[in-house]
Amino acid sequence: MDCDTVSKGLFVIGTGTDIGKTYVTGLLLKYLRDNGYNATYFKAALSGAIRDEDDNLVPGDAVEVLEMANLEEDTDFLVPYIYETAVSPHLASQIEGNPVDLSVVKDAYEKVSQKYDYILMEGSGGIVCPIRYEGKGNENNIMLEDIINHLGLDVIIIADAGLGTINSIVTTVEYLKNRNVHACGIIMNNYKDELMENDNIKMVEDLCDVPIIAKVYQNDINLQLDVDTKELISYFR
């Protein structure tokens, strides 16, 4: 079911954990806002939040992205489900309660869309990420692709440029295809201009037929795209 909203969205996924998905999402949002686009961040469920001095849960990923993009916004407005336990959202909600409901995510997304023209929505971990799980075959189960399809979004894949990335990217792209999710492009993080990493890029583009749209060097503070801004904007749905 597509989400009938005012704004347009693009979903950001990683090939796994700890590959810099949040960091690159921050660079993407900064790029959009620096180029005059009224864009924001959104995440359906965030686990591993920390507590501030007032004992309130703080969604660290959202804070990091907003700071990078120089955007002041209430993180509770942008992240409807926040868990303290640093595990997959399905397990965090089993421990803490308050499991994810797709209708709540959609309502929150629509509220954000009334304020912003473009929404970068960050996923949780890799694409095979259970968001809610109540047993095999249970109708309430939610996988990450269910949220993507529920909102009618296309995706950008963030991957590490180094050893092993060919398998990770090809596996991710094939999984997406099998679930009717369209991948617009791939961003290689932690890129070094070396023989193996340049060959990784060639092999990925040949095997996946999905373009590499940017290469991010370690500690980059600005995103250098290999496509023009107009093409990036065309990825939003």
Task: List, by residue number, the catalytic residues.
Answer: 43
- Of 102, 9, 27, the closest CA to residue 70 belongs to 27
* Enclosing H/E stretch for 215: strand 212-215
Contact criterion met (CB below 8 Å) for 188 and 226: no
* Enclosing H/E stretch for 102: helix 102-113
* Neighbour count for residue 204 (Cβ, 10 Å): 24
Q: In angstroms, what CA-CA distances link 52 with 58, 129, 179, 188?
A: 7, 27, 39, 33
Diameter of the chain measured on Cα atoms = 52
